[in-house]
Chain A
Amino acid sequence: MMKTLLEIKNLKTHFFTHEGVVKAVDGVSLKVDRGKTLGIVGESGSGKSVTALSILRLIPQPPGKIIGGEIYFEGQDLLKLDNKEIRKIRGKKISMIFQEPMTSLDPVFTIGHEIIETIQLHQGLNKKEAREKALEILKIVGIPDVEKRIDSYPHELSGGMRQRVMIAMALSCHPTLLIADEPTTALDVTIQAQIIKLINDLKKRFHTSVILITHDLGVIAEMCDYVAVMYAGQVVEYAEVFTLFEKSLHPYTQGLSKSIPRLNKEVEKLQVIPGMVPNLLNLPPGCPFHPRCSYNFEKCRSENPELIEIEDSHLVKCHLFTEKR
């Protein structure tokens, strides 16, 4: 079996709006190994969610369009599949969970109905068998009193319970890849901790690979094996999780990690990245981060650096490091 499950090469997803072209994802390359978790971290507008949606080809079109790149999943380019083939992969081999479970669950159906339907659709079981399966998976994700809860409607459940249901649905067909888009952002901290533990446990149990999208470096540290930091539609740094937190190289990653208040460290003043996230319609020339970067020099203003490998699986997109070589 190949070690790499998913490989994205030079993905470009642009949105063609009246005001101009929004380069939401502009040349992203990533890799996910089997059984591992890749975290994609970035601020709003960094393109992290669009990258995830592009994998499943769920970009609203128009205005969006994947204009270039390849996405190899188990050796097959997802961008070359026709609609019928990609539908077979969605939900069966790759599932997705979202930030707000309330809006992704249909309020007129019971939670059991939805899970049973997914199982029937992808596994060809009859209704009774599918119900058994659904009960089993709901029990695994920690829903108490499953026999009763399977017939409740989404609004009768709390936010944490709904997220568990979403996870149960996503895992009901034993996908090889789970994409989780800010799965804990809408939840309270104590519930967030429960869900993080649940996903970590399930990942081990089913040997599923996970792509975790978040803005929270704490969640990244808690769950991921590898991390990609995104800024303005591009990956600026990619590293193993310990490397990233101990010796991050890109000025943006460093700034980001210094700008969050921490429980385990006392600082008088937070370090700040000046300025704001750039407008994707009007990106600055050269490196998109240069106007906010304190190290910026001549070359940064004219030339966008390449993502290069500094050491084993530690990639950085910054002229500070291209120069040295």
Chain B
Amino acid sequence: MGLHAYLTLSALVFAIGLFGVLTRRNAIGILLGIELMLNAVNINLVAFSRFTGDLGGLVFSLFTISITVAEVALGLAIVIVIFRVRKTVEADRLDLLRG
């Protein structure tokens, strides 16, 4: 199995995640899409690490995973706060910044 197979797989997962982020109405759904995209990034990092023999990729993906966990915790907390205030988690209606 060559590097290309892993990178292609990762690109596919990334595109699927991007699609989810762009189309989901629910804020939690958007967060799920982001998780997918970050996951694709991790696949890339680990694959490069494996194929170049550099340990840095592994350490980086380790950091990515940890940061993702923090991001998810915070993101969901924000979603809950928004839900309390606006009584909705639909991203369409969260347009206070509209010009």
Does B bind A? no
Listed in ascending order, the chain B residues whose CB lies under 8 Å from chain A are none
